[in-house]
């Protein structure tokens, strides 16, 4: 049983990807994003994975006034961008060295950040601590969105649902299309894609419910079990690289 679990953990965050492994990892990350996004909103009234909303908020309040909202929005955008850039640096560093942990290293950094956030956020008493919360959560979401984009070849996003809901609508439209001209190529929906996208949106939603309810009950500590799960999921490829280096 241990060998089976080890093989699974080596593959789920490893460099050799399959459609099934991509979906399994994306499911965990979509749920994670839903939790973190809701925790951020309940704690500081900012959706930290929603760059469209942050950008619109900055634009609106530049015109209407609201320096604090502009500052939070710019900080969120900058740290999300920094997270995505950091993912590219870490991934390419690992890829050039042919590491099995080229993807896992990014996930481990995310897991450690979320773990520290869950353990320490409630202890932060600085008057502007919401800036720290936004920075950490947006940086984490930037890393996560970038790594799943790399893993899936830009086919899957996990930190926001706009694109996924759009693709669900496209597939539903294909299903509803009536074929009147039988001499033309038929419009064919992809049931597997529709099921995958619907599941990821559902997991994001479920994570959001759990994140909001858990924060109200336990505070920031609600993210600690999730961080430990993500850390366990991503650790096997890194440990394999460490053993290979020692040998």
Block means of pLDDT (10 residues each) for the chain, length 247 residues? 78 87 91 93 86 86 83 92 96 93 94 95 88 94 90 77 89 85 79 92 95 95 95 91 86
Q: Would you state the pLDDT for residue 82?
A: 96
Q: CA dist 234 to 107, 113, 156, 167, Å?
A: 6, 14, 19, 29
Q: Would you state the pLDDT for residue 88?
A: 95
Q: Which of 64, 37, 63 is nearest to 50 (CA)?
A: 37
Contact 192, 13 (CB under 8 A): no
Q: Would you state the pLDDT for residue 162?
A: 84
End-to-end CA distance of the chain: 26
Q: Give dist(CA 106, CA 144) in Å, integer.
A: 8
Look up residue 243 and give its two tokens. Answer: 């053993």
Q: Would you state the pLDDT for residue 5?
A: 78
Q: Would you state the pLDDT for residue 45?
A: 86
Contact 157, 163 (CB under 8 A): yes
Q: Would you state the pLDDT for residue 34?
A: 94
Q: Would you state the pLDDT for residue 155?
A: 73
Q: Which of 245, 246, 239, 247 is nearest to 105 (CA)?
A: 239
Q: Would you state the pLDDT for residue 183?
A: 73
| 6: CB partners within 8 A, 6+ apart | 236
């Amino acid at each position: 049983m241990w060998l089976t679990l080890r093989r699974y953990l080596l593959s789920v965050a490893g460099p050799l990807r399959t459609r099934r492994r991509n979906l399994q990892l994306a499911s965990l990350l979509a749920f994670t994003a839903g939790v973190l996004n809701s925790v951020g909103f309940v704690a500081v009234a900012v959706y930290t994975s929603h760059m469209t909303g942050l950008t619109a908020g900055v634009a609106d309040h530049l015109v209407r006034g609201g320096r604090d909202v502009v500052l939070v929005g710019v900080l969120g955008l900058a740290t999300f961008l920094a997270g995505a850039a950091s993912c590219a640096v870490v991934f390419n560093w690992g890829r050039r060295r042919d590491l099995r942990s080229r993807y896992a290293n990014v996930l481990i950094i995310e897991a450690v950040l979320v773990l520290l956030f869950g353990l320490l956020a409630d202890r932060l008493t600085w008057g502007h601590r919401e800036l720290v919360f936004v920075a950490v959560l947006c940086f984490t979401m930037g890393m996560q969105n970038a790594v799943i984009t790399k893993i899936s070849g830009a086919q899957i996003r996990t930190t926001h649902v706009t694109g996924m809901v759009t693709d669900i609508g496209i597939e539903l439209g294909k299903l509803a299309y009536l074929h009147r001209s039988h001499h033309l190529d038929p419009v064919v929906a992809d049931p597997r894609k529709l099921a995958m996208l619907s599941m990821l949106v559902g997991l994001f939603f479920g994570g959001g419910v759990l994140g909001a309810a858990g924060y109200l009950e336990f505070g920031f500590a609600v993210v600690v079990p999730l961080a430990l799960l993500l850390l366990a999921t991503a650790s096997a490829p890194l440990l394999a690289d460490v053993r290979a280096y020692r040998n």
